[in-house]
Amino acid sequence: MNPQAQELGQLDRIIHEPARLAIMMILHGAGEADFVYLQREGGFTQGNLSSHLLKLEEAGYVKIEKTFKGRVPLTLCRLTPKGGDAFLEYSRRMVQVLQRGTTLAKAK
């Protein structure tokens, strides 16, 4: 089996979906964010974001907490340590795959 294809197959499928990858990137860079911020930043619909957050929460990558800032109810989301590690591992693998792909393309 092609080693590159093998590496691609080892990528975390939960994170690899573009919407979930965007959520993980935003949360990794920003710290914690609420539902409205994620919706605006990612350009998601409410239902779309809810379903992706649910999948990330089920995988243990994101912690969702209902809380208040002042009197405003917020649905706060943040990466769990497991989620942070998974994201870094995904990034590392993806960079490796892309770097090899670039090297091969240059060799041609």
Partner 1 sequence: MDDNSAVKIADPGRRAAAYWFADGLPELAYGTALAISEGATLLLGLYLRTLPMLLVTIAGYLALIVLFAWEHSVVGLIKARITYPRTGYVQPPGTDFDPSSSVQTLGLTPESSARRNFSWFRGRIVLLLMVVPQALQVFDQPWALPALMVLLALLFYFTSRESEVPVSLISAVLLALLGFVPMLIGFPLRGRVFVAGLLGGLWLMARGLWKLALYLHNHPTPRVNAGAGA
If binding is defined by CB under 8 A, does position 104 make contact with partner 1?
no
Of residues 8, 11, 39, 55, which one binds partner 1 by CB under 8 A? 39
If binding is defined by CB under 8 A, does position 30 make contact with partner 1?
yes
What are the start-end ranges of the H helices in the chain? 3-9, 13-16, 18-30, 35-42, 46-58, 81-107
Please name which of 81, 97, 105, 77 lies closest in space to residue 16, comparing C-alpha atoms: 97
Query: How far from the centroid of its chain's Cα atoms is residue 92's Cα?
Result: 13
If binding is defined by CB under 8 A, does position 38 make contact with partner 1?
yes
Q: Enumerate binding residues for partner 1 (CB under 8 A).
A: 25-41, 46, 49-50, 53, 64, 66, 69-77, 88, 91-92, 94-95, 98-99, 102
